[in-house]
């Protein structure tokens, strides 16, 4: 058996028509790049219609090399030109655009070819918008979306189909809520926030006090604050604070299916891969990077710039700038040794048994 990819769909159809094209010269200019090995005709006449992987790029598309794994694809690519870093010694058959960071240049070009859709003030007939809600004129609201009382939404924001926005929620400008995102009452979103589908902002934190005969629910009366430029992944949940707020800092990016418990604070520009879980009242620093399926205990502090490998388990404070792995987490270098030596346990044990037999204590 091998993967069966049916032939009845192309494997690289663009999501929407591309309105924009570029000459090679203009493409290079857009990314502060330098053209190399390109004929004069080529640079002016060729109209670039998009950017693609080395493998899939056509003769009117650009491509890029940002990950050495794909180096061999350089030889066979059909791309009109390839974005390479300034110091790459690769011999490309193609015209080359030298840039500081090919991945960043790719991102800029992709954004040129696929610009954000502007809000146009379209409210679907089936959207349910409370009369007391204040929406800027150009806010879009999709089919079946629910905007509750006293909600405020800033200009340029687009609310997807089936979203539910609870009472007195405040949403900033130029936000994008994909279909079926939920924001519970009183939560606050800054500007340029993106919620993927199924994201839940402001669910109750998990708080009970044992009465002797049952778990007494503690009302969760804080909010969730998402600062500017935050993105929240699909089906990710961020619990409202028990008393104070849960705060996701400026520019934080959370992948899908992440769980953020009540009163967590996450510093600016921190990035977490999917399925991470952060327990209550833990404070995460700025500029951190967490691998997928990492779990962090409650009431601890993780310093700025900490990096955690996937599946890490953090039970105590971590100082700024460290790189950790494992559960319980240890320095990444130590973890590399420990992981390798774990597989030697049978040899260690055998030696120990032999030793005991030869030299009984």
Q: What is the footprint of a copy of itself within residues 42-71 (CB under 8 A)?
A: 51-53, 56, 67, 69
- Going residue by residue from 284 to 323, which x/- string records binding to a copy of itself, judged by CB under 8 A? -xxx----xx-x-x-x----xx----xx-x----------
Identify the active-site residue in 215, 262, 283, 358: 262
What is the three-class DSSP state of 258?
Answer: coil
Residue 56: CB atoms within 10 A of its CB come to 14
Looking at the Cβ atoms of 139 and 272, the one nearer to a copy of itself is: 272
User: The tokens of 224 are what?
Assistant: 């969730």
Distance (Å, whole) CA 157 – CA 310: 34
Looking at the Cβ atoms of 140 and 231, the one nearer to a copy of itself is: 231
- Binding to a copy of itself (CB under 8 A): which residues in 70-99? none
Choose which of 123, 152, 155, 253 interacts with a copy of itself (CB under 8 A): 253
| Nearest approach, Cβ of residue 44 and a copy of itself (Å) | 26
Residue 262 a catalytic site member: yes
Distance (Å, whole) CA 208 – CA 218: 5
Nearest one of 128, 142, 202 to 170, comparing CA atoms: 202
Distance (Å, whole) CA 106 – CA 69: 17
Choose which of 235, 322, 323, 332 interacts with a copy of itself (CB under 8 A): 235
Asked whether the beta carbons of 16 and 114 are under 8 A apart, the reply is: yes
Segment contacting a copy of itself by CB under 8 A, of 27-35, 39-47, 90-98, 229-237:
229-237
Distance (Å, whole) CA 83 – CA 269: 27
- Binding to a copy of itself (CB under 8 A): which residues in 124-183? 124, 126, 128, 142-144, 146, 148, 160-162, 164, 166, 170, 178-180, 182
The answer to the question of residue 12 lying near a copy of itself (CB under 8 A) is: yes
User: The tokens of 111 are what?
Assistant: 């954004």
Tokens 């997928």 label which residue?
292
Choose which of 87, 89, 131, 210 interacts with a copy of itself (CB under 8 A): 210
Asked whether the beta carbons of 110 and 102 are under 8 A apart, the reply is: no
Looking at the Cβ atoms of 23 and 197, the one nearer to a copy of itself is: 197
Handedness of CA 66, 68, 69, 72 (dihedral sign): positive
Catalytic residue numbers, as ranges = 262
């Amino acid at each position: 058996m091998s993967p069966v990819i049916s032939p009845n769909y192309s494997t690289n159809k663009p999501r929407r028509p591309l309105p924009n094209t570029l000459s090679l010269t203009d493409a290079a200019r857009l990314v502060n790049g330098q053209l190399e090995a390109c004929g004069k005709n080529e640079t002016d006449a060729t109209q670039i219609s998009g950017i693609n992987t080395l493998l899939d790029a056509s003769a009117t598309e650009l491509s890029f090399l940002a990950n050495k794994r794909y180096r061999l694809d350089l030889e066979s690519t059909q791309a009109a030109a390839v974005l390479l870093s300034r110091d790459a010694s690769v011999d490309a058959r193609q015209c080359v655009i030298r840039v500081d960071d090919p991945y960043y240049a790719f991102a800029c070009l992709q954004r040129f070819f696929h610009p954000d859709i502007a809000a146009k003030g379209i409210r679907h007939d089936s959207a349910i918008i409370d009369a007391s809600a204040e929406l800027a004129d150009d806010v879009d609201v999709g089919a079946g979306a629910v905007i509750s009382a006293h909600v405020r939404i800033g200009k340029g924001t687009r609310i997807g189909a089936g979203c539910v926005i609870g009472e007195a929620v405040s949403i900033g400008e130029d936000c994008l809520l994909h279909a079926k995102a939920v924001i519970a009452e009183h939560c606050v979103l800054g500007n340029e926030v993106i919620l993927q589908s199924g994201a839940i902002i402001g669910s109750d934190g998990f708080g009970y006090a044992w009465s002797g005969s049952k778990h007494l629910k503690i009302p969760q009366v804080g909010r969730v604050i998402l600062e500017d430029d935050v993105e929240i992944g699909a089906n990710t949940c961020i619990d409202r604070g028990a008393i104070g707020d849960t705060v996701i800092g400026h520019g934080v990016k959370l992948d899908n299916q992440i769980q953020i418990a009540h009163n967590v604070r996450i510093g600016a520009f921190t990035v977490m891969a999917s399925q991470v879980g952060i327990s209550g009242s833990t404070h995460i620093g700025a500029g951190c990077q967490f691998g997928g399926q990492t779990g962090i205990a409650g009431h601890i502090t993780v310093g700025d710039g900490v990096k955690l490998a996937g599946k890490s388990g953090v039970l105590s404070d971590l100082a700024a700038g460290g790189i950790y792995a494992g559960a319980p987490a240890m320095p990444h270098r130590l973890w590399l040794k420990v992981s390798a030596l774990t597989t030697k346990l049978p040899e260690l044990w055998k030696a120990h048994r032999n030793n005991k037999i030869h030299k009984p204590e």
